[in-house]
Structure 1
Amino acid sequence: MSSTTPVSSTTPVSSTTLVTTSTTTRGTTTTAGICLNGGSWVDGQCRCPLGFTGSRCQDVMITIPTTPEANGTVQVDLRVVNRNFTDDLYDSSSPGYKELVRNFTEQMQEVYKTIDGYRGIEVQRFSPGSVVVHHTVIVALPVTTQSQEKLHNVTVDLQQKVEAAVTQFNCEDELCFNSNVSVTEVQLEFNETAYCQSEVPEGYQEFFFPNLTSSGLTCMSNCTPDTAGTIDCNRGTCRVTRSGPQCFCDETNLYWYQGNRCASRVSKLGVGLGVAVAVLAVTVAVLAFLLFRARRSGSSHWDQMTFDQWYQDSTEEWDRPGTITFYNPGAQLEDDHALDRGVVELPAPVRPRGPWVWDPSNLPSASEASQQIRIPRPREIVTEF
């Protein structure tokens, strides 16, 4: 550890907040990280308790591995042939009872200690017949689908060891036993569901269930792969929450997902580009329509202006529907420009209710046409026939 003393400086940020910084002249300091759910900071990382995982112990494990052991028992009855039964052996609190239990346990420990999984002896009682010791041999067995078979093998091994040992004891200094040994295998009992409930973190027990195999017992959830109830999250990750197993979709900053299993997704970028293209297409269509209307309106106006100019500048005889051309070489315009040919528009006839009849009497006579007249510049009057 560094022997230097940190020098602290305090910098005011506002009237209510201070930021404190520490510096040392030698070495560095390590700030402990924040670990959740009972995790502890060890060697620069969070060490999570059983059932939690993640860089900060923030997630519940979807599968909790366990290594449970079940206490198997073998019932054994041995007859002590060099000891007489006394009444105090009925009383488990008597000195004689306790002394016999101690002597028997110390002697038989040497026989049973080589048995696989041996954990101890429990004397249950003594009964008359010289002295019959009713006791249980306790063995610890890994919980698997073969646990009961393993207990049966232990029972066979135990009986063979006892039968071999009883003939080797010194009957003057030790307890001597009859070679007739009674060994009974007890059915192995283990509550797998209750065990998993005790191993799963508080608040998540209802979402886990035991799975017993030949290799051991695991506590699984519906997020565990390759199980009957496995949830397929497709493009996501299954996690166990306090509400149960849920799918958390990947890359939510890039995609929108439909449904709660992350099965189908839509690219946010693609939607944005599609909307932009659609808006651009609509804008182009509107502009094209407006441009078309503007050009059509301008063309009509230009055609009219062209016609009017041509009409004013023309020196030819011309005829339009609804007009009659007169030749009057003596006519002069008001602006004194010579007029060789001109157009006189007929007023629009009044349609009678019956069939329309042309009246040639409306035409000027030859004498009237030879007279010099002054008329203003003609204007166009459309007459319908």
Structure 2
Amino acid sequence: MTLNWQLKSGSWFLSAMKPVSRSEKNPVMLSAEKPFKAINTSLEVQLKINKEYSESLNDTKTPEYKEFELEFKTEMSSVYSNVPGYKDVEILSIRKGSIVVDHKVIAEVEIKEDINVTEEYKTILEQVKIDLTAEKDNCTGKLCIADILELKQVEPPSINDLCETRIPEGFRRFYSPLLTSEGLTCVSFCEPKSSKYENCNGGKCEIQQHIGPKCFCPNTDQYIYTSPKCTGRISKLGVYGGIGTAICLLIIIIITGAFFLVRTMRKKSCEENELFDDKDEKYVKYGISSLYTQLEDGEENSSWRTWFSKGEFRPSLEKIDPSIKVKIKRPETVRQFSTFN
């Protein structure tokens, strides 16, 4: 049985893991998920023991070392019995002088919303000092403490450190620790319990690696959402119907406008033709008719002139009187003589 962190519903839990039988085709890990309820704290202690040193104690494989390790752990379990959460001791090194033993004292601290880990660690440290001093002054076991050489604190990890070191890379900054009466959980920004909760308004929230929380809105085949957080839902059927109606109205407006434009142009063209026909009828009684003929202001027998632009010149022969004789005066030649002096 091993411990590992597992993701469930956007939160990370410390879980007990049990491998599946190797006979299965696709081995997986079954987990009994539970909140992280405690952490191990430690402090390093250096003691001088009144016992003769042997070189064989430098080799952890020798019978002498194993015998001394068992004897030391048994003795220290009795010494540290009053330490809150005491679990074990771990020998770090052994050296000459009588015997100097560097070891680690391991104690467990509960993690709950009403427990301060730092204060609990200080209590453990003080109790270790008390127990060692008492044993030194009054040795009752096989191994007697000659001197307490050193006692070193090892700062326990914070709940933030626990979440940052246990959550996979790329996801860490999107999770925060949450202390409850059940213990410690690392909740994602997709969880309503998080102080940075990403509300997806009925959609599904997922943490994407290096990106963070993302909302997946429901029924996207039927609706359009105006916000990435699944707000402003609009029916696709209504949108497509509105677009179709707008296109139809635009087509009707274009066709109607084109109809009235053509009608206006035709009306203007007919009026211009009627104007030119009136001018021709007005001037045909003078015997000359043209599409572009204009009289001077005045009586009918006043002088007139004609400008030709377009059209044709048409003589009106039915208005000519052939009985009228036209007399043309013979031209005279005028000579002018110059006198030279």
In the superposition, the TM-score normalised over structure 1's length comes to 0.45
